[in-house]
């Protein structure tokens, strides 16, 4: 049977999807290889959240033409959100693309690959589903460190934020049976994994109703409780939360379990109420700050991270300043910061004008980045002198004599290795820091 090589771009959900793809194809006899020069199929799992993400894939396809000239049997397939959004357009415009498959069509991949190999014609499968969760598929942990793993608990999104293509590329929300999620987490722990991250476009809206009569629905706080109860030695993380759905009950569950990591990613997107309404975010700044206050109340040591968009349609300078003020009030530990990129088929593309000049978007973004860098450094300086439990993950990129790991707050700590090993829990005292990293020493 042929070999396959998988490249993944974009979010954690895409990496989890690639592990599902690998599992499906391995069951059909395909071999997943790490050497792109020794493969029959190159599968590129793509992101469509911003235009530069798609342009990166276009550039990568151009680069792969040289490889196809050397190995003429190699065929390329595009998977994921970009495949769903562009579909047949991709196969027309990119001559070296042989097949495309959307996020809900991965079960059809064995058939697609066989058709391409046997007939030499191009093939596509991009139908969205209202039921597909891949709950029965045991993922192949690609490039795994054997310590941390992702578990997809739900698929799709129906928030329809004005700027976002996800509802159009991944379909509507549907949640996995909690028994399959707990079983996957328990299996990972039995294999030696020490940390799982539960994934969804909006994990707070997870809700599974069993078809059996008399059973109550399982929501996200209950699911978190069940996974965390597997073992106190299994760390549990999750991403991503939507501010409109972040409940006090989830915060209570997090506070009650020491192995649920004290870190919440809570995208704000803007500090302006008008912008939030235009973005169709379903909350205002007062609601958002109330949720921040609730997090601090239940877990004073919880780190908070966010997403933000600079230069959304019609954003004024005053509204940009409101976003900066939000950063000063919340004091995020980390932020994913982007300038607005108009995406086709979204509400913004159909009804709003992308009227902020690119140079102005860049200026506003740079101001946000500078402020966040200052806040992150100040936050990290407050950690100097504290001791944290750290899950060791591997060698530092700068020195083989040092290891790195993360604490419950998801902050990276680098320290001299001594006799520590990846997969261990150790105590590390912070001695220094940068805006991005804590530095420490092992405490005996």
Residue 1 has pLDDT above 90, yes or no: no
Q: Is the CB of residue 113 less than 8 Å from the CB of residue 158?
A: no
Confidence band for 223, pLDDT divided at 50, 70 and 90: very high
Residue 8 has pLDDT above 90, yes or no: yes
Cα-based distances in Å from 96 to 41, 66, 90, 111? 12, 11, 10, 19
Q: Taking all residues of the chain, what is their mean pLDDT, rounded to a whole number? A: 96
Cβ-in-10-Å burial (0-12, 13-18, 19+) of 211 comes to exposed
**pLDDT tens per residue, range 31-59:** 999 999 999 999 999 999 999 999 999 99
DSSP assignments along 265-330, one per residue: E---B-S-HHHHHHTT-S--HHHHHHHHHHHHHH-TT-EEEEEEEES-TT--HHHHHHHHHHHHHH
Confidence band for 20, pLDDT divided at 50, 70 and 90: very high
Per-residue confidence (pLDDT) for residue 120, from 0 to 100: 86
Per-residue confidence (pLDDT) for residue 185, from 0 to 100: 98
The CATH fold of domain 3-125: Rossmann fold (3.40.50)
Per-residue confidence (pLDDT) for residue 119, from 0 to 100: 87
Per-residue confidence (pLDDT) for residue 15, from 0 to 100: 96
Q: What is the Cα 217 distance to its own chain's centre?
A: 26
Per-residue confidence (pLDDT) for residue 103, from 0 to 100: 97
Are both 263-382 and 387-442 of the same fold? no
Domain parsing of the chain, residue ranges: 3-125, 144-261, 263-382, 387-442
Per-residue confidence (pLDDT) for residue 144, from 0 to 100: 86
The CATH fold of domain 263-382: Transcription Regulator spoIIAA (3.30.750)
Mean pLDDT throughout 356-376? 98
The CATH number assigned to the domain with range 387-442 reads: 2.40.50.140
Residue 236 has pLDDT above 90, yes or no: yes
The CATH label, of 3.30.750.210, 3.40.50.1100, 3.50.50.60, 1.20.1630.10, for the domain at 144-261 is 3.30.750.210
Tokens 């049997």 locate to: 73
**pLDDT tens per residue, range 108-126:** 999 999 999 988 889 999 9
**pLDDT tens per residue, range 292-345:** 999 999 999 999 999 999 999 999 999 999 999 999 999 999 999 999 999 999
């Amino acid at each position: 049977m042929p070999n396959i090589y998988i490249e993944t771009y974009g979010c954690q959900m895409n990496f989890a999807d690639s592990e599902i793809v690998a599992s499906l194809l391995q069951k059909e006899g395909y071999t997943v290889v790490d050497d792109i020069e020794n493969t029959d199929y190159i599968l590129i799992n793509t992101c469509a959240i911003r235009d530069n993400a798609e342009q990166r894939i276009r550039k990568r396809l151009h680069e792969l033409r040289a490889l196809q000239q050397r190995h003429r049997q190699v065929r390329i397939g595009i998977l994921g959100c970009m495949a769903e959004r562009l579909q047949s357009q991709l196969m027309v415009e990119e001559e070296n693309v042989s097949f495309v498959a959307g996020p809900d069509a991965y079960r059809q991949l064995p058939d697609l690959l066989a058709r391409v190999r046997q007939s030499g014609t191009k093939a596509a499968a991009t139908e969205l589903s209202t039921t597909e969760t891949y709950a029965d598929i045991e993922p192949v942990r690609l490039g795994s460190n054997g310590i941390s793993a992702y578990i997809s608990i739900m698929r799709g999104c129906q928030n329809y934020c004005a700027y976002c293509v996800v509802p159009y590329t991944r379909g509507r929300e549907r949640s996995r049976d909690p028994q399959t999620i707990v079983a996957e987490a328990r299996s990972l722990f039995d294999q030696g994994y020490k940390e799982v991250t539960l994934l969804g476009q909006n994990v707070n809206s997870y809700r599974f109703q069993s078809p059996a009569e008399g059973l109550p629905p399982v929501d996200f706080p209950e699911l978190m409780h069940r996974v965390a109860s597997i073992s106190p030695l299994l760390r549990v993380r999750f991403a991503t939360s939507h501010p409109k759905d972040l409940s006090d009950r989830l915060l209570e569950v997090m506070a009650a379990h020491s192995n649920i990591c004290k870190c919440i990613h809570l995208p704000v997107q803007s500090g302006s109420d008008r912008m939030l309404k235009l973005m169709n975010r379903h909350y205002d700044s007062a609601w958002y700050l109330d949720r921040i206050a609730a997090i601090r109340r239940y877990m004073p040591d919880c780190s908070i991270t966010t997403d933000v968009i600079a230069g959304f349609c019609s954003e004024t300078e005053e509204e940009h300043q409101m976003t900066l003020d939000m950063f000063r009030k919340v004091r995020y530990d980390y932020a994913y910061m982007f300038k607005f990129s108009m995406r086709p088929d979204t509400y913004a593309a159909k009804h709003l004008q992308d009227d902020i000049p690119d140079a102005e978007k860049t200026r506003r973004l740079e101001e946000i980045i500078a402020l966040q860098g200052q806040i992150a450094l100040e936050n990290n300086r407050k950690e100097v002198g504290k001791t944290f439990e750290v899950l060791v993950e591997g060698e530092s990129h700068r020195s083989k004599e040092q290891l790195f790991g993360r604490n419950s707050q998801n902050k990276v700590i680098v320290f001299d290795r001594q006799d520590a090993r990846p997969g261990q829990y150790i105590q590390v005292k912070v001695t220094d820091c940068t805006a991005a990293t804590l530095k420490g020493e092992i405490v005996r």
